[in-house]
Structure 1
Amino acid sequence: MRRGLRRFGRYAEPVVPGTSLKDRYRLGRFPLAHKGMGEVWPAQDTLLDRAVIVKFVNAAKPDVDLVRRFRREALLTARLDHPGVPAIYDLGKHAGQPYVVLQKIDGITLTDLIGEQGPLPPGWAAAIGAQICAVLLAARQIGLVHRDIKPSNVMLDTSGAVKVLDFGLAVVRDDDRYSRITLTGHALGTVGYMAPEQVLGEPTDHRTDLYGLGATLFDLLTGSPPFDEVTTTTTLRRQIDGPPPRPTQLRPGIPDELDDLVHTLLAIDPRDRPATAADVYTVLAPFCHDLPPIPGVLTDTAGAVRAYAAIVGRVPPHTRPTATTTAEPTPLDVGLAAKQAEQLHAAGEYRAAARQWRHLAAQHARQHGDDDPLVFDFRLGVARAHRALGEHSRASRLFQELLEDRARAEGAEHPAVLRLRQEIAHLSEEPSPPAPRQPS
């Protein structure tokens, strides 16, 4: 009997070191990894004299459906033309065994990055998250949902640029070629990172990937997964039952805006998450300046900043900072924005109201100074929104900081200062809600 694996009505010879594909791609000495449905080899493109990666269908699992999904992933990855996604160079078969040739990434997965470095500086977590947002925005433009955003599916290369990997679970809206996938015996996602709607078998959309982004940001900021219970069942139950965790529960000192963002991204109901990746990018972008070196990972910080700028440069123009966005807003613009915040608060959208007031406070402070009365008013709105959310500890801290700053600026007997003292006294008399459960 002929040696080899009989597959798909013919024999497929085992892949060996030095194998030449199409007289062009020469495999290296050892495979890099065995992951999921593929076997990954380093190779050399002898025609263009460059290093590449060749991924084969796992020969140990002869399955027609596996081959279909393998080809499907390659076509989806190639369809998403973006610098934050590895380029697909070629697709073919060798002795009956399908393979794909793709760009070699000189870098490290976020899983390994966190394992080596621990929690990242908030600026780097934001820079990585902003680049993922750029990929998700491009994906949404073609109706694609990745459905498996997690640290092991994202790489940071030596220049600081991010690559999103593994589109094996992706679907494309309104396209039957890519809208269905069969994974016998496999979960459609990764426990702890897949959104509650995936766990429950409900429809998914772009907000499903925002949940995965939130879980990834939590990992980057704290060094730990957001949901890490003893068993799969208890992990899934905690994801579905809530409340979503906050990075500050594990790492105090994370900026409020990032803490709020991650908490909101991990909302159980997709409708409670940010509307789009552009909204998430807008929150992350201001933190992406003066990125510190990451020893042993980046070749140079200046290159990292250039690479980061190249990736986020692919964000749609309306989400990028421009000369007009830094201009001083007119009183009418500020008034309308403040009114919107008040309407959100009145409608019970306290988290959104807090974000709006916080943005107004920061913007107005840049133009008129921290002690401008309107800045104090906007900060007061933020504190009241967190009080309405039942986050008494955080609200108390915000009220106290505001009291100290306003007393310094306007005097201890100013009417606004006296009213603040009364509000703080009332807050201290209110019963605090039960604290959210901590990871066991």
Structure 2
Amino acid sequence: MVAGALLGGRYELGRFPLAHKGMGEVWPADDTLLDRAVIVKLVDAAAMDLAGVRRFRREALLTARLDHPGVPAVYDLGEHDGRPYVVIEKIAGTDLKDLIAEQSPVPVAWVAAIGAQICGVLVAADHIGLIHRDIKPSNVMLHPSGAVKVLDFGLATMPDDDRYSRITLSGQSVGTLGYMAPEQISGGPADQRTDLYGLGATLYDLLTARPPFDGATTLTMVRHQLSTPPPRPVQFRPDVPDTLDDLVHALLATDPADRPATAAEVYATLAPLARELPPIPGVVDDPTGAVQAYAAIVGRVPAQWRTPAARPAKDDEAEPTAARAERLEADGEHRAAARHWRRLVELRTRRHGADDHRVVEARLRAARAHLPLGEYDRALRLMHAVLDDLIRARGPEAAVVRDLRREIATVSTQRPAGR
């Protein structure tokens, strides 16, 4: 393409491209019809196979479906001289990769604020069944207002929608090494917890100024990701709060079942840490108000936000899950029991709503299942999340709130030193 070219009769390209990516180009442009600055991404269809062109269009369609303030808006999709293009919102700011390089160490409060906002996007994505599959620092932008934008849905998928999932072959490994989840490396199925792993790796990088996994060779890095959790962030940065250190450690669990179940659960842990945000010179203009207001809008989500169109679960589906979980507990299979309790939470929430007492009990049973495993911090984190929801729903003086506070206090006193 050349500077000044007019696409679709309205998008005038700027003087120089912003980037060349493979067989594509990214240009600043002016929308002459609406008099606004935009970004135009083009690909060379003649140099790409049909699947590549389909992936390009698919990214635009998936991004457009995710109507959320934390995602750049898609304005138009067209073709110019045989070259497909997409017109998107122009985003100002700094990507997290540059933020880490230029502002390390990133203040803990900012790490939490950024993570909470990413969670808001992931909750909205889960609401339509969308999985990003490439959450990493270079795909997240921090606006001068303090707002976060999640970029590049080129690897996104909707497993329940054949129009979007069949382009990526089953068993194909996609993502960015060091940030992609172990199940992505092995070509296994991805779900919301896959994006939570990428979020955990991103938070790790923000906290420590290093990726969670590194190695002299690709093979070494892959072996570490598949078998060994990274050192905890607090080992490199002693000021990391225990709750945040435990959260990042859980997000980077090799087994998806050992990660937090939802982005809403992660948000509930991060949001309280995003307080008293200090200035970031040259990056954020208004650190005190904008981020907290923005995070309150996009991140204040129910503990379990499921797709409204999802088929309600029947009691005969939920009860066997509870019975199975109890049998596993009796057999000493506590980790498997925790997974079944979390499944019961999903089923009961769709049937009865997040505030139903049966949902609350299942969440607590899932938390308690981690105690025999010695995972006191994770159990307490899950219990505190339930407590916060109960206080919001029933008030601080409700009997169930008082009982749970006493249980949390008891568990806290039983926790061995160092756990």
Distance 1:56 1:144 in 2: 24
Q: Deviations over 1:245-284 (max 9, x none)?
A: 3111211120000000000000000000001001101101
Do residues 83 (structure 1) and 69 (structure 2) align? yes
| Residues 339-348 or 247-256, more deviating | 339-348
Q: Is the contact made by 1:92 and 1:100 (CA closer than 8 Å) also made in structure 2?
A: yes
Give matches, 1:404-419, under 5 Å.
none
Match of 1:209 among 189, 195, 199: 195
Match of 2:411 among 381, 384, 409: 381
Match of 1:271 among 244, 257, 269: 257
Q: Is the contact made by 1:91 and 1:100 (CA closer than 8 Å) also made in structure 2?
A: yes
CA gap of 1:179–1:341, structure 2 versus 1, over 3 A, is: closer
Give matches, 1:33-432, under 5 Å.
33-58=19-44, 61-182=47-168, 187-301=173-287, 302-313=289-300, 315-316=301-302, 344-346=370-372, 350-356=376-382, 378=408, 381-382=411-412, 384-385=414-415, 387=416, 394-395=418-419
Specify the code of the residue in structure 2 equivalent to 1:96. G
Question: C-alpha displacement at 1:211, in angstroms?
Answer: 0.3
Q: Secondary structure at the match of 2:371?
A: helix
- Per the normalisation by structure 2, the TM-score is 0.76
Q: Deviations over 1:115-174 (max 9, x none)?
A: 110121111111111111111111111111111100011111111111111111111022
Distance 1:63 1:339 in 2: 51
Q: Secondary structure at the match of 1:145?
A: coil
In structure 1, the partner of 2:326 is none
Distance 2:103 2:3 in 1: 34
Question: C-alpha displacement at 1:307, in angstroms?
Answer: 3.3
Distance 1:150 1:20 in 2: 34
Q: Secondary structure at the match of 2:47?
A: coil
Q: Is the contact made by 1:357 and 1:379 (CA closer than 8 Å) also made in structure 2?
A: no
Q: Which runs of 5+ in 1 are unaligned?
A: 1-14, 320-333, 369-373, 396-440
Distance 2:9 2:374 in 1: 65
Q: Is the contact made by 1:17 and 1:30 (CA closer than 8 Å) also made in structure 2?
A: yes
CA gap of 1:120–1:29, structure 2 versus 1, over 3 A, is: same
Number of residue-to-residue matches in the alignment: 355
Q: Deviations over 1:358-392 (max 9, x none)?
A: 6799999xx89xxxxx989846634744x4xxxx6
Q: Secondary structure at the match of 1:47?
A: coil
**Structure (1 or 2) with the larger CA radius of gyration:** 1
Q: Percent same amino acid at aligned positions?
A: 62
In structure 1, the partner of 2:10 is 24
Distance 2:282 2:49 in 1: 41
Distance 1:63 1:318 in 2: 41
Q: Deviations over 1:381-425 (max 9, x none)?
A: 34744x4xxxx6x24xxxxxxxxxxxxxxxxxxxxxxxxxxxxxx
Question: C-alpha displacement at 1:344, in angstroms?
Answer: 4.1
Q: Deviations over 1:196-221 (max 9, x none)?
A: 00111111111100000000010111
Question: C-alpha displacement at 1:298, in angstroms?
Answer: 1.2
Question: C-alpha displacement at 1:237, in angstroms?
Answer: 0.6
Q: Is the contact made by 1:355 and 1:382 (CA closer than 8 Å) also made in structure 2?
A: no
Distance 2:140 2:243 in 1: 23
CA gap of 1:233–1:163, structure 2 versus 1, over 3 A, is: same
Question: C-alpha displacement at 1:305, in angstroms?
Answer: 3.4
Q: Secondary structure at the match of 1:177?
A: helix
Distance 1:338 1:203 in 2: 28
Q: Is the contact made by 2:264 and 2:303 (CA closer than 8 Å) also made in structure 1?
A: no
Distance 1:26 1:168 in 2: 24
| Residues 341-350 or 83-92, more deviating | 341-350
Specify the code of the residue in structure 2 equivalent to 1:312. G
- Per the normalisation by structure 1, the TM-score is 0.73
Q: Secondary structure at the match of 2:265?
A: helix
